[in-house]
């Protein structure tokens, strides 16, 4: 029987070699998620090490400048390692350790998940190897060095489009090679069951905090929660606690690269079709024969041809809406937030900021938007300078 379904999406489409590994992981997760000691240990790490709760910041200047809805930023960029990825990595690495694993492997696109995995591995004493598309090791050279500094071995993947998709392929291949002592720390709400559920649960702290913090500040729920979506972990984390609150509109912002009508994009809900890849049934950018498309985005973290199965289902049911945002719009938002609020967002998160800039002015002043600022943008500065025609050293 197929497990881990979200509507028609999800499942466990992995080679037989990995089936006992994913089953073992599922059993361990079900055991430890109810274990008071594990919960307390993770809670302490989240608070004392990662710096949670992250702030919910009222972006007053941005709100006034745009002249519409009140804008709050959920500051996941202020977490240790600079993004939301640490939430999942601390959870999974702690779980791996409880399972007796001594080594973790992970894929990374922008490098944020790689850095967070390397960080958690260093802290918990696990051996760590990271797979990163060669193209991305160039775009995000700073993060490669950070991972090495943290004691991880970084493999530059030279197959396919040499980006996130290929890094996932290679990490899966490596996992089939060595499962006994190794846990694969998948970085997004994707892949075979139980990963989409486990990663969502570890990230759902974002939405729970938003709800509590906004209640304290405004005494009510937000009208809109928005986040960027590649595989979709920060968006799923922000959305999850609000799914039952039907008055809250959920908006995922996909990377449209050079535009949804241009082949150089990564907007899966806009352009994808139903398929089965990387362990899950979901939507993918692909051709009529099911060959996965070489997608593109300026943001290495959103440069992925698929989307997590729970998002695919939220799109099917209409509970969440997914909109495409181009490179140019994201870069403008990157610059806008830097100048207006003094906050340099990750280029991934800038996709959500861009959509906020579009819709806030169209909304009444008594409405509230929360934008999940999933990461900080230091890593992107050199790439954005290049985009603007300036060459600076990383």
Partner 1 sequence: MTDIKAAFKNGKAFIPFVTAGDPDLDTTEKLLIEMSKSGADIIEIGIPFSDPIAEGVVIQEADLRALASGTTTDKIFDMVKQIRPQIECALAVMTYINPIFVYGTDKFMKKCSECGISGVIVPDAPFEEKDELKDYCDKYGIELISLIAPTSHNRIKMIAKEAQGFVYCVSSMGVTGVRKEITTDVGEMVRLVKSVSDTPCAIGFGISTPEQAKKMAQSADGVIVGSAIVKIVAKYGKDCIEPVCKYVKQMKEAIK
Interface with partner 1 by CB under 8 A: which residues? 1-3, 11-21, 159-160, 165-166, 169, 172-173, 176-179, 273-279, 281, 284, 286, 288-292
Residue-by-residue DSSP string for 350-373: HHHHHHHHHHGGGS-TT-EEEEEE
Nearer to partner 1, 135 or 166 (CB): 166
Q: How far is the CB of 256 from partner 1 (least distance, A)?
A: 22
Of 54, 76, 101, 107, the active-site residue reads 107
Distance CA 272, CA 229 (A): 14
Q: How far is the CB of 34 from partner 1 (least distance, A)?
A: 24
Q: How far is the CB of 5 from partner 1 (least distance, A)?
A: 11
Helices 195-203 and 309-317: angle between axes, nearest 10 degrees: 80
Q: What is the dihedral of CA 374, 376, 381, 382, to 10 degrees?
A: -80
What 8-state DSSP symbol labels residue 376? B
Cβ 225 vs Cβ 250: under 8 Å = yes
Residues 6 or more apart in contact with residue 251 via CB below 8 angstroms = 224, 225, 226, 227, 320, 321, 322, 323, 355, 359
Cβ 192 vs Cβ 12: under 8 Å = yes
Q: How far is the CB of 388 from partner 1 (least distance, A)?
A: 33
Nearer to partner 1, 81 or 282 (CB): 282
Nearer to partner 1, 104 or 164 (CB): 164
Nearer to partner 1, 96 or 323 (CB): 96
Residue-by-residue DSSP string for 77-99: GGSGGGBTHHHHHHHHHHHHHHT
Nearer to partner 1, 247 or 291 (CB): 291
Q: How far is the CB of 277 from partner 1 (least distance, A)?
A: 5
Residue 107 catalytic? yes
Cβ 204 vs Cβ 344: under 8 Å = no
Q: How far is the CB of 170 from partner 1 (least distance, A)?
A: 9
Residue 85 catalytic? yes
Nearer to partner 1, 149 or 274 (CB): 274
Q: How far is the CB of 64 from partner 1 (least distance, A)?
A: 47
Distance CA 371, CA 74 (A): 6
Of 54, 83, 297, 374, the active-site residue reads 374
Coil, strand or helix: which one is 201?
Answer: helix
Cβ 345 vs Cβ 375: under 8 Å = yes
* Strand duo 9-13 + 249-257: pairing: unpaired
Nearer to partner 1, 18 or 104 (CB): 18
Of 70, 74, 85, 101, the active-site residue reads 85
Nearer to partner 1, 280 or 363 (CB): 280
b/e map 373-393, b = 16+ CB within 10 Å? bbbbbebbbbbbeebeeeeee
CA neighbours closer than 13 Å in the CB half-sphere of residue 362: 6
Indicate the burial class of 220 (C-beta count within 10 angstroms; 0-12, 13-18, 19 or more). exposed
Q: How far is the CB of 31 from partner 1 (least distance, A)?
A: 18
Which residues are annotated as catalytic? Answer: 85, 107, 374
């Amino acid at each position: 029987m197929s497990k881990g379904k979200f509507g028609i999406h999800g499942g466990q489409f992995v080679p037989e070699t990995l089936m006992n590994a994913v089953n073992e992981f599922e059993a361990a997760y079900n055991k430890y998620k109810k274990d008071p000691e594990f919960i307390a240990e993770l809670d302490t790490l989240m608070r004392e090490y990662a710096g949670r709760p992250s702030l919910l910041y009222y972006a007053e200047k941005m709100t006034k400048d745009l002249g519409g809805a009140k804008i709050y930023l959920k500051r996941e960029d202020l977490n240790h390692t600079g993004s939301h990825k640490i939430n999942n990595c601390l959870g999974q690495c702690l779980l791996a350790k409880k399972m007796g694993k001594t080594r973790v492997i992970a894929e990374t696109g922008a490098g944020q998940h790689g850095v967070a995995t390397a960080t958690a591995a260093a802290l918990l004493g696990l051996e760590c190897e990271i797979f990163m598309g060669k193209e991305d090791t160039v775009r995000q050279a700073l993060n490669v060095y950070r991972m090495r500094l943290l004691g991880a071995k970084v493999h530059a993947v030279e197959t396919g489009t040499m980006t996130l998709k290929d890094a996932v392929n290679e990490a899966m291949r490596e996992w089939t090679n060595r499962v006994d002592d190794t846990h694969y720390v998948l970085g997004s709400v994707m892949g075979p069951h139980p990963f989409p559920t486990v990663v969502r649960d570890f990230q759902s702290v974002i939405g729970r905090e938003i709800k509590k913090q906004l209640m304290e500040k405004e005494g009510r729920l937000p009208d809109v929660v928005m986040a960027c979506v590649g595989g979709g972990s920060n968006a799923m984390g922000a959305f999850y606690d609000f799914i039952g609150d039907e008055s809250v509109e959920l908006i995922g912002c996909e990377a449209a690269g050079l535009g949804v009508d241009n082949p150089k994009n990564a907007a899966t809900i806009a352009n994808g079709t139903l398929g089965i890849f990387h362990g899950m049934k979901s939507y993918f950018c692909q051709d009529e024969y099911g060959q996965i498309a070489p997608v593109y985005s300026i943001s290495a973290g959103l440069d992925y041809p698929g989307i997590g199965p729970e998002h695919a289902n939220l799109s099917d049911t209409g509970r969440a809406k997914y909109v495409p945002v181009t490179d140019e719009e994201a870069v403008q938002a990157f610059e806008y937030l830097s100048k207006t609020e003094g906050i340099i967002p990750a280029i991934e998160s800038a996709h959500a900021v861009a959509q906020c800039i579009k819709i806030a002015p169209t909304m009444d002043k008594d409405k509230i938007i929360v934008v999940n600022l999933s990461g900080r943008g230091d890593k992107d500065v050199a790439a954005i300078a290049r985009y603007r025609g300036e060459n600076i050293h990383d």
